[in-house]
Structure 1
């Protein structure tokens, strides 16, 4: 429904005519694990920094590479983000294409898109994950520093408990416990997948969904031998991850189908029961799927990326900038080709290719060897 999309307070545009289920399914599958995996890695490397450089250097590093970019890029990206969404809304509502695109672009040049001025309530945009990390650091670093330095006996007890778990039969309970924990946080949040909030006050259930992975990543650094386990059993984890991702996609789509039917037939008890069943099933599969997929990816990385590679390092370094800059570009290029009579999957490929090229080129020539590159990557790369 175009009108419903247009009334969305935050993202009022979709290329309705170019909607393609294959592209949508690709996005859904990636969504099922990508940000939990990122949060786990963030916890792992925070623990590494604390051990290697100390609490003070950890705080300094995270302020430089997380907090300052969050603040600077929020103000830089907000006008661009609001401009493209506002333009997209007008293009979408002009169903017959009667208004020239240039005229729509000109109409949407407005001071209202500046930060804190327009009618749109400020939100984190796609920078939500950096914002969540700031909260996680703010909560975890003082607690861990205090426990390690002020009550070392408690830290010792925790280490002995972990030693016992990892050295006895109890270790077989670790993965089921992680799955149960994610199932409970997902149920608490009310969605079968890892939903996010762009609000500056996101709500504890949203934060808990991801904080679990951050904490596990931190603990994983202290038990790095588990990485060898993932490498050893990668060919068990990987096919299982593929099966779970496929199953989750099917069950999730079925749940959304019943959700749509319920909107059209309110109060239908049979539909409500079916929706609840698929919701619970999808939540269970998601809780299993996310951990197994992460373990598979760690194992695959350890098996196939065994030595430093300049090309890999280049793209890893560019990824931060690419993520920061990509959202307004994705929406902008989608708007430019929205009126083209092309299959949705072709449009999807055009936007992905174009945005990736622009992001990499801007990184290479405008970011890589500047103070921005130093801020994002911790060093210049001339």
Structure 2
């Protein structure tokens, strides 16, 4: 266990230290964040071809199932959000330690709140009609239903919510809670964090996933935070916060994180195999999923067995939860450690991708949904793997190109400003009046 370091706060920090240290040390984390943003696009690009699919997730179309795509989909699904949440928790704690709790929270709320508001107002309507286009093309709904926004058979039960933007909403709530509890957290010792806090995070995630398997193995869609999903995600965010208290420069993780990769891969493989089997056994997701506005009791009523145990038993669900949380935890810290140890400086392409990662996350969803519709009807004979590659490329390009254009515009404005400041200015010499000139000639 790393030795906890003395914690500085905004109140006791020397006046000469006014801001967070330079972050070149964390170039590996920036690279990991960029790759993870691409992985999110790949995850969504796999949705129409995954079988079993994610219960409760409404998508624009369904296409030809593929076993390799299914394996990739579920492997990414298990680990991707824990990676973002642990990183977010770590850097939230780091910023608070150097800049103060409430100033950091206010800054984060502005940085997350405005994108959440704007994308909710402008992007979600585009996404809705993209989904309706796919549903009409597949014959799931009639055009009249779309105009009236009234659907039959409960097809829209998981349509209404923040879509992929839930992550921003949850982060904002975590930041408020972290700022409010920071004065208590800084008093925690290394022993308390190692023996109580981190195991508590693991336990909270396992309990949430046991009670509500749809946190990972389904999709909970709502305009407000879903308690089970909020607890599960918050456990990983809190793990990042506590890890900062133990290893604020991530030196220990960079040195030893690679050791976690092997066990993490084994647990992820086991979780994918057992989880997909479990979904196939459970059957109709309406019998167990409790997400969105449906309010359906998530109790599973299947009579199928795994050995001598019912597939719906608490033992089966808790075993799957332990595998899933263990895999997510090991892979997250392993990839963070490997990235830190292997990346000291970002290449121009990786730096550009890292800078674009937030826009890729924000903008890719409707692009991917529309690309799936086009791929299904325009490329019916193309393999699902090729379609995933094509759709992923388009989804990444959407956010990356917007980021590149914005960067070029800022650079052009900066160059014009510098040029105007460096342009030589003519000096106006004082001019003598005609009377003074006449006096000079007379003299």
Q: TM-score range by the shorter chain?
A: 0.7 to 0.9
Indicate conservation of the 8 Å contact 2:270/2:323, yes or no: yes
CA pair 267-293 structure 1, distance change in 2 beyond 3 A: closer
Question: For residue 356 of structure 1, what is the aligned residue in structure 2?
Answer: 396
Question: For residue 289 of structure 1, what is the aligned residue in structure 2?
Answer: 327
Of the candidates 353, 368, 376, which is equivalent to residue 338 of structure 1? 376
Single out whichever of 30-39 and 196-205 deviates more from structure 2.
196-205
2:202 paired with 1:179: yes
CA pair 78-310 structure 1, distance change in 2 beyond 3 A: same
CA pair 188-250 structure 1, distance change in 2 beyond 3 A: same
Q: Which runs of 5+ in 1 are unaligned?
A: 1-7, 96-103, 114-118, 149-153, 372-382
C-alpha deviation, 1:330, in angstroms = 0.4
2:67 paired with 1:24: no
Question: For residue 100 of structure 2, what is the aligned residue in structure 1?
Answer: 54
Of the candidates 159, 168, 171, which is equivalent to residue 133 of structure 1? 171
Runs of 4+ aligned structure 1 residues displaced above 4 Å come to: 106-113, 119-122, 171-178
Give TM-score scaled by structure 2 length: 0.66
Single out whichever of 206-215 and 194-203 deviates more from structure 2.
194-203
Give TM-score scaled by structure 1 length: 0.76
| 1:1-382 matched pairs, under 5 angstroms | 11=58, 13-16=60-63, 18-93=64-139, 122-144=160-182, 148=183, 158-159=187-188, 162-165=189-192, 171=194, 177-191=200-214, 193=216, 197-224=220-247, 227-260=250-283, 268=303, 270=305, 273-276=310-313, 278-339=316-377, 340=379, 341-365=381-405, 367-368=406-407
**How many residue pairs were aligned?**
332
CA pair 192-214 structure 1, distance change in 2 beyond 3 A: closer
Aligned equivalents of 1:49 and 1:283: distance in 2?
32
Indicate conservation of the 8 Å contact 1:241/1:293, yes or no: yes
CA pair 194-68 structure 1, distance change in 2 beyond 3 A: farther
Greater percentage in helix: 1
Question: For residue 426 of structure 2, what is the aligned residue in structure 1?
Answer: none
Question: For residue 375 of structure 1, what is the aligned residue in structure 2?
Answer: none
Q: Please, what is the CA RMSD of the aligned residues?
A: 3.4
Question: For residue 26 of structure 2, what is the aligned residue in structure 1?
Answer: none
Q: Which runs of 5+ in 2 are unaligned?
A: 1-54, 151-155, 288-300, 411-443
Aligned equivalents of 2:304 and 2:56: distance in 1?
32
C-alpha deviation, 1:140, in angstroms = 2.6
C-alpha deviation, 1:37, in angstroms = 1.7
C-alpha deviation, 1:319, in angstroms = 0.6
The secondary structure found in structure 1 opposite 2:345 is: coil
Single out whichever of 285-294 and 200-209 deviates more from structure 2.
200-209
C-alpha deviation, 1:202, in angstroms = 2.8
Task: Decide which structure has the larger Cα Rg and report it.
Answer: 2
CA pair 269-338 structure 1, distance change in 2 beyond 3 A: closer
Aligned equivalents of 1:174 and 1:76: distance in 2?
40
